[in-house]
Each structure stands twice: as C-alpha cells, then as structure tokens.
Amino acid sequence: THGTAAWRGKHERRALLYKYCVSHIAWTAKRVAHPKSAELTVRQQTLLQDPGDPLLHFPSLFAEAA
C-alpha cells in the first residue's frame, strides 16, 4: 500500500522507501555499501547482502519473534 497521513509533527518528516527485488529481475548491479568504519550486526550484514538464488534464502530476520 502507498500513502501518508497529514503531518502534524514539529520536526522534519522523513521516509525510507525500500524496494525488494529477487536477483534475476534486479534492475541494476549497483548495491548499497555500508561505510567500512561501521561495525554491523549479523542482522544488518544479512540485510545488505547481494541478491541471491531464491532457493538459498537466508533465515528469517524475524525468527526470534516466533
């Protein structure tokens, strides 16, 4: 779904649009890279992995909530 509600906050409104696409239909080979000085958690590293084979998905990032 798309859309927004009226913004009434006193601070600037920001939004993040995350587009997911399986590797075989990805539009570009360009990937998001994290700053080399940043220490990422395992979860963050997983989110920034290149697209891969749809049969070899990484485990759910929400498994701990189950």
How high is the pLDDT of residue 43?
Answer: 82
Supply the Cα-derived Rg of the chain in whole angstroms: 16
Contact 16, 47 (CB under 8 A): no
With CA atoms as reference, report the closest residue to 48 among 34, 66, 36, 27.
34
How high is the pLDDT of residue 39?
Answer: 92
| Interval 8-22 mean pLDDT | 78
Given a cut of 60, whether residue 1 has pLDDT beyond it is: no
- Tens of pLDDT along 16-63? 777 666 666 666 667 777 888 989 988 888 777 776 665 666 677 776
Interatomic CA distance for residues 60 and 39, integer angstroms = 21
**What predicted TM-score, i.e. pTM, was given to this entire model?**
0.45
Given a cut of 80, whether residue 13 has pLDDT beyond it is: yes
Sequence ranges of the domains in the chain: 35-66
Burial class of 57 by CB neighbour count within 10 A (0 to 12, 13 to 18, 19+): exposed
